[in-house]
Amino acid sequence: MPESIVIPAIAADGSLYPVEKMKAHVEGLQHLAVSVFVFDGDKLLIQKRAQAKYHCGGLWANTCCTHPHWDETIEACAARRLEEELGFSLPLTRHQTVDYSADVGGGLHENERVTLFSAQADRSQLAILPDEDEVEAVRWIGADELQREMRETPFSFTPWFRIYLERFPDLGFDQL
């Protein structure tokens, strides 16, 4: 189980209040999150989550994602997580915020208001240093290949990544 982290949950009136991360996932409380997508041209960097993760271990996901700490901005959170999980930093572009809800197994539920971020990188110049406690593997993939793999083996991908690809099939955030 992960350490106790306090994240921003969203009240019925839209205001934020602090909640322990696991409580948010057990009770399905709506909360803030970020998802980062790093591209090299038309290729997306995806990660396979470490087997020991508290949910969705061993599944492929977008470049990285997490929850802001209670006292952290969305932008700082996205930059922090990219560095923590993959060992590099890039200028991030903020896109729209989307809501989704998904059962992630083990009695846990994601009910997230996610701000999407993207970055462009030159993979020949990018030193990726994954944290082995967080990331089992990384690879670059194009939208067509990703769509095909998701059709053929949907459950090798996290529920939220499947939702993102359903909403944005060509991974084109310029449409947001």
- Domain of residue 134, CATH code: 3.90.79.10
Do the annotations mark residue 85 as ligand-binding? yes
Whether 1 is covered by a domain: the verdict is: no
Domain count, the chain: 1
Catalytic residue among 56, 64, 112, 136: 112
pLDDT tens digit sequence for 10-56 = 999 999 999 999 999 999 999 999 999 999 999 999 999 999 998 89
Range of the domain at 132: 6-175
Whether 66 is covered by a domain: the verdict is: yes
* Residue 3 annotated among the catalytic residues of the structure: no
What's the CA gap between 4 and 175, in Å, rounded?
Answer: 37
Measuring CA to CA, which residue among 130, 157, 154 is closest to residue 61? 157
- pLDDT, average across residues 88-112: 93
Record the pTM.
0.93
